[in-house]
Amino acid sequence: MDYGYVDCHCHISAPEFEQDLEEVIQRAKAAGVKTLVAVTEGVEEFSRVLQLYECYPGLVAPCLGVHPLQMGRPGSEQRSVKPQDLDAALPQFYKHSESLVAIGEIGLDFTPWCAPTQQDRDDQMDVFIKQLNVARELQLPVNVHSRSAAKITIATMREQGISRALLHNFAGKPSVALEGVKAGYCFSFPPAVCRNQQRDKLIRQIPMEHICLETDSPALGLDKHERNEPCNIVLSCRYIADVKGLSPQTVQLVTAQNAHRLFPRANRR
Ligand SMILES: [Zn+2]
């Protein structure tokens, strides 16, 4: 079967795509993208991503999740998630469980200026574990963010008995990534990896069977200041192919197979 490209982590319900989503989708399809695994950052986005699933069945594979960082009041900085941010989200996970391919974007972000206090980190951990429990209960994989928290993110998932996880835009040490590989987890890389060679060693060490492609659109494109979109997945593919010494076709095929093993509910309709 030709799976095309699977964008394993993108934010197509983001306001950045409201104006011209149809064109963005057309460009993605023209580039050969056949699946968009669409994650959310907070409950206010849930209805939009489910609506896109209705509009583009077979293409949009929806995930619901509450991100470790939340937008504050308009104009203010991002803030660490609080347990009450999950209150309105929890019933939605159960209500829409049949439509979901995964729980995400969830995770831990211990970047010092994002989570300056121990209370912030404890709150993030609380929200993360609660959502891991939901995923286990609903037998869904998880789509995971981890920044400055690679080791603890993987250890927490293992402790919680999570067997299917995607660690998106992972930038931890290769030795920590290999702990995740041992647990059966996959790692996806966005076009931003092409900006420099920082992630080459990591990509080289993770076995091909544990690598997926993503764009994280509208963020993490090749150019920091430009909106990223799913058609740019070809850049991640080419870069990983280069680093691994494989053909882009092989990387496309293997990553798509990995993605469908991880998200078996994608493209059901
Ligand atoms: Zn993301």
DSSP H helical segments within 9-142, as ranges? 21-30, 46-55, 89-95, 118-137
- For residue 267, being part of any structural domain is answered with no
pLDDT per residue as tens digits for the range 141-190: 999 999 999 999 999 999 999 999 999 999 999 999 999 999 999 999 99
Q: How far is the CA of 142 from the centre of ligand 1 (A)?
A: 13
pLDDT per residue as tens digits for the range 90-140: 999 999 999 999 999 999 999 998 899 999 999 999 999 999 999 999 999
- For residue 26, being part of any structural domain is answered with yes
The parent domain of residue 166 ranges over 5-225+232-262
Q: How far is the CA of 223 from the centre of ligand 1 (A)?
A: 16
Mean pLDDT of 234-256: 97
Kindly report the length of the chain: 269
- For residue 188, being part of any structural domain is answered with yes
* Cα–Cα dist 4/262, whole Å: 16
Q: For residue 4, give the DSSP letter.
A: -
Q: What is the number of domains present in the chain?
A: 1
Q: How far is the CA of 165 from the centre of ligand 1 (A)?
A: 14
Q: How far is the CA of 215 from the centre of ligand 1 (A)?
A: 9
- For residue 163, being part of any structural domain is answered with yes
pLDDT per residue as tens digits for the range 12-33: 999 999 999 999 999 999 999 9
- For residue 13, being part of any structural domain is answered with yes
Q: How far is the CA of 9 from the centre of ligand 1 (A)?
A: 6
Q: How far is the CA of 192 from the centre of ligand 1 (A)?
A: 13
Q: How far is the CA of 11 from the centre of ligand 1 (A)?
A: 6
Q: How far is the CA of 119 from the centre of ligand 1 (A)?
A: 23
On average, the pLDDT of the chain sits at: 94
Q: How far is the CA of 161 from the centre of ligand 1 (A)?
A: 23
Please state, in angstroms and as integers, the Cα–Cα distance from residue 39 to each residue in 60, 113, 121, 197, following that order: 10, 24, 22, 27
Q: Give the CATH number for residue 205.
A: 3.20.20.140
Residue 74's pLDDT is 66
* Cα–Cα dist 213/252, whole Å: 8
Neighbouring CB atoms inside 10 A of 61's CB total 27
- For residue 268, being part of any structural domain is answered with no
Q: How far is the CA of 268 from the centre of ligand 1 (A)?
A: 23
Q: How far is the CA of 216 from the centre of ligand 1 (A)?
A: 5
Please state, in angstroms and as integers, the Cα–Cα distance from residue 132 to each residue in 122, 125, 143, 205, 226, following that order: 15, 10, 10, 27, 33
- For residue 35, being part of any structural domain is answered with yes
- For residue 116, being part of any structural domain is answered with yes
